[in-house]
């Protein structure tokens, strides 16, 4: 079976990572959460006080970049890949609202994107990878065999994120989460570098009314066709 590349892009809290993980498990591919990498850089800058009250001095960010090392390690208990920042497990912390509130500003910095895109291309250089994010099908892997673009209504996305954070024991407010989603979508779509947009050859999946199983079936059907095509062309 050929090892293809699967790029999943879309808005915040559309269930991209849930779908990506399920596909990776089914195909025995590796999964890379590119959003976690932008979140890890944001956490680093917050912890170092370089990012404070929503603003930063760009030269300090550029000086800090070479000191930021991000990796994904399998947690043997949970049997899932978790994000590590300079050797420390930050999987839980990067999901918190204070990181979400600053991550769009950090991911709009061109030098941050250059560093992380190079790392992402490196992670996926041998194929057999599912990567989710905002620019995977347009910038990171423009030649990916499968490109999916996920959408869902704003209310449904806010409710899903709310339920997720609540289940983790976080104190959250639905309205605050909704506002954060709307703001992040706006910044992600309107930044100068690699804005969130659907690649011309991406297939759009609106999962507002789909169950997880229906969504997975739909995606696996699309992927199977791409695998068949790659097999014929090989």
Point out which residues bind ligand DC (CB under 6 A): 12, 34-35, 38-39, 103-104, 107, 133-136, 184, 188
Taking the least distance from each CB to ligand DC, the nearer of 39 and 178 is: 39
Least distance in angstroms from the C-beta of 107 to ligand DC: 3
Least distance in angstroms from the C-beta of 232 to ligand DC: 31
Beta pairing class for 129-133 and 146-151: unpaired
On the CB side of 148, how many CA atoms lie within 13 Å of its CA? 27
Place of tokens 């030649």: 143
Taking the least distance from each CB to ligand DC, the nearer of 27 and 41 is: 41
Least distance in angstroms from the C-beta of 178 to ligand DC: 14
Taking the least distance from each CB to ligand DC, the nearer of 2 and 84 is: 84
174-190 per-residue burial string, b: 16 or more CB within 10 A, e: under 16: eeebbebbeebbeebee
Least distance in angstroms from the C-beta of 184 to ligand DC: 4
Question: Which residues, listed in sequence order, are joined to residue 129 by a DSSP beta bridge?
Answer: 5, 30
Taking the least distance from each CB to ligand DC, the nearer of 104 and 215 is: 104
Which SS3 state, helix, strand or coil, does residue 13 take? coil
Q: For residue 72, how far is the Cα from the chain centroid?
A: 13
């Amino acid at each position: 079976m050929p090892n293809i590349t699967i790029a999943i892009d879309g808005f915040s809290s559309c269930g991209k990572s849930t779908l990506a993980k399920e596909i990776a498990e089914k195909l025995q591919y590796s999964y890379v959460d590119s959003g976690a990498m932008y979140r890890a850089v944001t956490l680093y800058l917050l912890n170092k006080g370089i990012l404070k009250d929503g603003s930063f001095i760009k030269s300090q960010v550029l000086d800090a970049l070479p000191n930021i090392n991000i990796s994904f390690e399998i947690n043997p208990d949970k049997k899932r890949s978790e994000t590590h920042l300079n050797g420390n497990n930050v999987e839980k912390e990067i999901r918190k609202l204070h990181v979400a509130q600053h991550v769009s500003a950090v991911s709009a910095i061109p030098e941050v994107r250059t560093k992380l895109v190079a790392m992402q291309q490196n992670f996926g250089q041998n194929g057999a990878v599912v990567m989710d994010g905002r620019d995977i099908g347009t910038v990171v892997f423009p030649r990916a065999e499968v490109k999916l673009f996920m959408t869902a209504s704003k209310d449904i996305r806010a409710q899903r994120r709310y339920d997720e954070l609540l289940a983790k024991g976080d104190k959250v407010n639905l309205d605050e989460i909704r506002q954060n989603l709307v703001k992040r979508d706006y910044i992600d779509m309107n930044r100068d570098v690699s804005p969130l947009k659907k690649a011309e050859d991406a297939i759009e999946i609106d999962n507002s009314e789909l169950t997880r199983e229906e969504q997975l079936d739909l995606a696996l059907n699309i992927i199977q066709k791409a695998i068949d095509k790659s097999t014929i062309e090989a």
